[in-house]
A and B are shown apart, each in its own frame.
Chain A
Amino acid sequence: MEPSSSLLGFEEEAKVSSSSARRLVPWLNWHEWLFVKHALFSDSPHSALKRISAWRSRASLPVLIEVTASIIEIQLKDPCFRQDESNDASLSEEMLAMLYCMAIMRLVNGVIEKTRKKEVASIAVAADAIGIPRMLIDIRHEGSHRELPSLKIVRSASIKALDWLKSYYWEPQSKAIPFQGEGLGEVKKEIKSKIRELAICLKVNGSAQSSSSLLKGKRPKKQISKILKYVLRLYSSFSSEIVSVLLEYLLKALSSSELEGNADDASNGLTTQNVLADWKLILLKLCNKEPEILLNLLKEVLDMIETRENMKYAEVFFFLVDNPNIGISHSRPEIQQRDYLSSLFAWLVGILSKVPSAAANMPKRVLHELLRKCLLISRLCNKQLVDSALQLAELMNDSYLKEKVRKFSLISLSNLDSADDQSSLLTSKNILKFEESILEATKKLELVKQQIMKNKKPTAMDCDTKKSQTWTLAKSWNPCPIGMLPRTVGSSGYLPVLNVIDDEKQNQLLESKENWKLIPHGNKRDATLDLPQLDNSTVKKMRKTKEFSESNNELPMQVVKGCLLVGGVLKKLTEEELLAIESSVRILV
């Protein structure tokens, strides 16, 4: 009975070729792998060994990593390699030699058996081809067929083996990692060059089409999509870098173009369109595939506007405090900066409305947030922002909201006019009036939000009623790769943080206990497991459960250094109390 996918209800498919060269690995990203690599060859490899045992439980651990971990773990038990004097359960020389020998045997077998054809080459020949030190081959032979080699020999062999493993696997693999985690500078350069390439390609493509030469037209297209794919792949790990690079380019384009100082709002908008026309295409292409880029850009620009405004008003405030009742004339460059940003924002919102997929898929609450922020920041005196807010409201297809925002914008316009007339005199009276209207607006927006929420509620209530259920369907779900968590928009997902929350406290504690060494795992079923893990105050049942107390779920991100969560309250414990807790914690088998 040949295996056939149609057996189980699947249509026959051409066998998926392995040319995509992707392989299942037990680590989440290369950052994790690099962490293990650095820790493994450092002075205290315990954290790396723990992580490798977690990898082992996933059953896809490459044999070379497994063997490296075994040798290093054996070396930890070897008094010759250990600096301190831990006297618990030290092994006899015979046993140590046995362990080393076994590890070396597994190394040789594991590496060679995969690369040689049994009939063609002997083990020695195949080993030579890979470069394994002859010593290891001999030890393997000795150990299997003759008597156990001496401890001295296997000890030095283990050092040789580690060096060989480094040169055969660890170094080459880390070189094969893109960006090697060397720092975001590298990544940024790469992104910049890629985006420049993209810009050039698009320009070429645009002009090529007009000159209607088929040959030229095809290649840029392919290249464009290749670069696009590359940039988007980078997005999942380096999203903020991409956003900042794009923003840099956009702002540079705006500021470098010759905008005369006295340009009023209307002509500013036109010029923005012209200046940024090139970038429009790029952004459209990027945001079609990854709408979150646009969202992040919008948020970033708003943030920048906000900080500028805050700074400006802070200055003004201090100035007022010193010299009340003096009219303030805004300094030129700052107005221009603000105008750049607001026109950039308006332009971006324009793009948002042009990208139909993005607008449709962006959840309402995200647009709400944006709108709210926009209104708050506009502070009634930035017409462009208010207009953008109106546009955003239109995108949301909510007529009620649109009305409100329209009325609001009318009010703001009238305020603006009156403010201009009085040559921007910021008297305390005006400030109060502004504040009041802002508060009112916020309240109105809140009301609107609540209305929308209420309209949504009935459908949510219909499902789970009565008792609170532990297993519920996730309320809002964006598709994302298996293993990642969903983003607010788009389907690229972001990498999760998988550290157990207690870890922070654990590490802080461990700092104060430097002579902790891992107690060897004698018998796996034994009760005395790694005591450092029990360092935490919360008592755990080691074998089965890792139950998180309710307070942990509340996520006290403000972890106070040196404190433990005892009985739901952060307390600072003395050494003795910690020792007492430790001694009272035992495994319940």
Chain B
Amino acid sequence: MGSSPSPEIYIPEQWLEAGESIAESSTPPIALICGAKNCGKTTFSRYLLNILLHKYSKVAYLDTDVGQPEFTPPAFLSLTILHKVTPDLTVPCLKTPERCLFFGDVSCKRDPSTYLSYVCAMYDYYRNEYCISDKGDYPHKIELPLIVNTPGWVKGVGYDVLVDMLKYICPTHVVKINISSENKNLPAGEFWLDGEHDETINLIEINSARQDLLNRLVLVKKDARLLRDLRIMAYFRQCFSSDSNISTIKELAHALAYHCPYEVPIASIKIQHLHCEVPSSEIFYSLNATIVGLAVDSDVPENLPWCLGLGIVRGIDTVKGVLYVITPVPHSSLEKVNLLLQGYIQIPTCLLQVQGCISPYMSANTLTTK
């Protein structure tokens, strides 16, 4: 096996077997991992990633969990190509994805159909780029293995979305992680296949790794909101070079307030909110001091706007007609950006509270009753 996972992560026997069986397949596998929230999907996916990287030089990772993505800040769907083994499975790290789409929300509940179309678009991109067909008669030969991570929403709307995803992607391996309380799990067997049995699909059912005192398989508690905020802050930390002396959140907030932003004329930018209609007279009230996705709008309306990253609109000067945007996206790529996508991602409030430079949106006289 080679790389030893970090000591805090416990990889049960079942997982080792599952990983082996996927890695042993003759053709590059497309593995989709599903299960209830916090059952260990991401950990397993990282483990699987490491295993596959021993066999293949590059592995593709399609992240469809907009609440807690692996390599991007929240609210993104991304396709990332990896070629280095991650030694420590506990540390998530930000990487620049090959392609990503900004969904604007941390769950698909408000707009599942758009979410699904984004997932399908990302998968199509993967097939077009990394699956080549050498000869016309032979079926498509897959080049890179693909790991698909899914959100942990397994009931109701989330379940329907998952089923549609499975039907569209048709993975070669489906890894379903179960926990003890049965009603929180996905149905047994190939639940998305309406009864037909597909020979090419391998369903691997494994159990969650954590067990409580009664040996019940339990979920891992996480403070999702805090994690998301930390993720966003780590993302904007990239605005500054890695040797600059920023190691606390306070220092980051201070540095952001002092950082020289990009200036872009309002006339050359389109602004769109992904989930609600903002009256045109109120655009700036809605846009000031928010996080936006920087996207490239294609001329063809069917093509989805590929996103380059996040930015903070830190000021709007209507007199000069410019927007001031802080973003770690490199300047050379920024030129293509002509569309700002608004969503429901809030700036972490600790970034708005800088000593002596408190944002006006952090108000001090609000009544305690909300």
Chain A positions within 8 Å of B, measured between CB atoms, are: 1-3, 5, 7-11, 13, 16, 20-30, 32, 50-51, 53-60, 62-64, 111, 114-115, 168-169, 172-173, 176-178, 236, 469-475, 477, 479-486, 491-493, 495-503, 506, 524, 529-530, 533, 540, 542-550, 552-553, 555
Contact = CB atoms under 8 A, between A and B. Distances in A.
A540 B321 CA distance: 17
A471 B319 contact: no
B234 interface: yes
B138 interface: no
Contacts, number: 263
A290 to B, nearest CB: 10
A515 B168 CA distance: 52
B285 A55 contact: yes
Given A59-B346, A479-B257, A546-B280, A7 B360 contact: no
A559 to B, nearest CB: 14
Contacts of B347: 482
Contact-size category for B: 35 or more
Nearest to B370: A62
A488 to B, nearest CB: 14
B90 A1 contact: yes
Contacts of A10: 230, 233-234, 247-249, 252
Given A23-B362, A479-B257, A484 B370 contact: no
A368 to B, nearest CB: 21
Given A9-B247, A22-B358, 12 more contacts: A2-B222, A5-B230, A8-B231, A25-B366, A53-B279, A59-B346, A474-B263, A475-B263, A485-B317, A496-B284, A497-B319, A500-B283
Interface of B: 8, 43, 90-92, 220, 222-223, 226-227, 230-231, 233-234, 237, 247-250, 252, 256-258, 260-273, 275-286, 288-290, 312, 314-319, 321, 324, 331, 334-335, 337-339, 342, 344, 346-347, 349-354, 356-367, 369-370
B223 A473 contact: no
A54 B357 contact: no
Nearest to B262: A471
Contact of A50 (B91, B233, B264, B282): B282
- What DSSP secondary structure best describes chain A's contact surface? loop
A482 B249 contact: no
Contacts of A22: 349, 353, 358, 362-364
Contacts of A169: 367, 369
A8 B263 contact: no
A546 B288 contact: no
B260 A470 contact: no
Most chain B CB within a 10 A radius of its CB, from A58, A475, A493: A58
Contact of B360 (A28, A64, A471, A475): A28
A9 B237 contact: yes
A477 B261 contact: yes
5 contacts: A10-B252, A11-B247, A51-B285, A472-B263, A473-B263
Contacts of B264: 470-472
A498 B331 contact: no
Contact of A471 (B282, B285, B289, B335): B335
Closest 5 CB pairs of A and B: A54-B282, A483-B289, A8-B234, A498-B284, A479-B258
A7 B261 contact: no
Nearest to B321: A553
A474 B43 CA distance: 42
A63 B370 contact: yes
